[in-house]
Amino acid sequence: MNQKIRIFTFSLIELLITVMIIAILASLLLPVLQQAKDKAYAISCLSNTKTLVTASISYSDSSDGWIVPIDFRWNEGYDQSRHWTGLLKPYGVQWSAKRKESSTFRCPAEPLTQDNEGYWNNASSIYLLNVYLCGSPRTSYFYLHKQSDLRHPSETLHGAESIYTMEHGNNVKNFKFRHGGGDFRTDLSYSSVPPPPKSIASAFFMDGHAAGKTFYGIINGSSKQDYCLQEQGFAESYNKCGISLKELE
């Protein structure tokens, strides 16, 4: 009887040691697996931005050089086909407001939490556009521009990652730096706190390239940008060389 008890006790200790070893290995492997997952998300997101800027350049090539605007609406109602996400659809991008359908406009690191079918604005896009560059007919000061207006296309920020609550950016704080460490901010419209310095947002530029950029990398690299980013946001030097959408149609 005593021998059986000793054997059982030894087996239980051995099992506990095995469980402890597995737990230690898991604690070591999980961060590595999470980093690999985050890296894959960042690569996929950067691929999306590359597709978007390629589509935007194709739009310009077929639109007499005009850069894709934020939208094309006055009194037509909230029609997604006249929003920039819809304007780029004929040029090789996929757009969907459904959670389970693929979309070029969504980063896999932050997918939709609910369907947004019929929602015209950026609720179904994780990316926003530089309103000072692209223009919008809803205001009298965001002018349209042509590619030929740009002096430094490789430095001109076309757009970048954000959250679902806006279609365009007028401030560097609007961007969401979700890769390489994550961005704890939830309200990007009014946030006065910068994101973590090593966190990265996928951004795309008017020469057709896309790159991961930190908050400070965007600000520090803005000296040569047309319609550039300043410390508090996009430069508010409204260019007068634009033309209204009414004159385009």
Residue 76 in tokens: 């037509």
pLDDT for residue 100 = 85
pLDDT for residue 38 = 85
Taking only the tens place, the pLDDT of each residue in 2-25 is 555 555 555 777 777 777 877 777
User: What would you measure as the largest C-alpha separation in the chain, in angstroms?
Assistant: 98
Per-residue pLDDT band at 93 (split at 50, 70, 90) = very high
Q: Which residue type does 92 have?
A: G
pLDDT for residue 51 = 97
**Regarding beta strands 233-234 and 210-213, do their DSSP bridges make them parallel or antiparallel, or are they unpaired?**
unpaired
Per-residue pLDDT band at 86 (split at 50, 70, 90) = confident
Taking only the tens place, the pLDDT of each residue in 163-213 is 866 666 767 778 899 998 888 888 776 666 778 889 999 999 999 999 999
**CA–CA separation, 85 and 198 (whole Å):** 29
What is the CA 43 to chain-centroid distance, rounded?
Answer: 12
Per-residue pLDDT band at 94 (split at 50, 70, 90) = very high
* Best CA proximity match to 229, nearest among 149, 174, 148, 164: 174
* Residue 11 CB partners (closer than 8 Å, separation 6+): none
pLDDT for residue 231 = 37
Residue 245 has pLDDT above 70, yes or no: no
- 216: how many CB neighbours lie within 10 A of its CB? 13
Residue 90 has pLDDT above 90, yes or no: yes
pLDDT for residue 234 = 41
What Cα–Cα distance (Å) separates residue 18 from each residue in 8, 13, 33, 120? 15, 9, 22, 55
Residue 244 has pLDDT above 50, yes or no: no
